[in-house]
Amino acid sequence: MFDKIMNMLNKIVNILKRILLIIYVIVIYKVGVYHVPVRTVWGQNNIFDLRYVPIWELVDKKPMGLNVVRYELCVSRAVYQIGLITLIAIALYFALEEISKLFEN
């Protein structure tokens, strides 16, 4: 009876690890495509705004008075963002791995 409970808990933890990986892929996709950090630049490289936009807006140029507004990818913020999400996912995965080891026979 005890072995059946331990096996069931181990299967639940393995399912949670798979769900974590699926959530990680979805979040990285969202951050990499729909939530890209950019700087809005206009005129003589004056920074107007820092924001998050979908990746397809990086190619858009919009007229603003006499100047043209364009978006520049902020690589350091993008790398920091993806790195932080990855570290959180790795920490959760290893925590689930340790819990899984507790339930093994």
Structure confidence at residue 57 (pLDDT) = 80
Hey, is 7 helix, strand or coil? helix
Residue 68 neighbours by CB under 8 Å, 6+ apart: 42, 61, 62
Q: Where are the domains of the chain?
A: 8-103
Structure confidence at residue 83 (pLDDT) = 95
CA–CA dist 35, 24 (Å, integer): 15
Tokens of 47: 């920074």
Q: Are 6 and 105 in contact (CB under 8 A)?
A: yes
pLDDT tens, position by position, 23-73:
999 999 999 899 999 888 776 667 678 888 888 887 766 666 667 777 888
The share of the chain scoring above pLDDT 90, in percent, equals 39
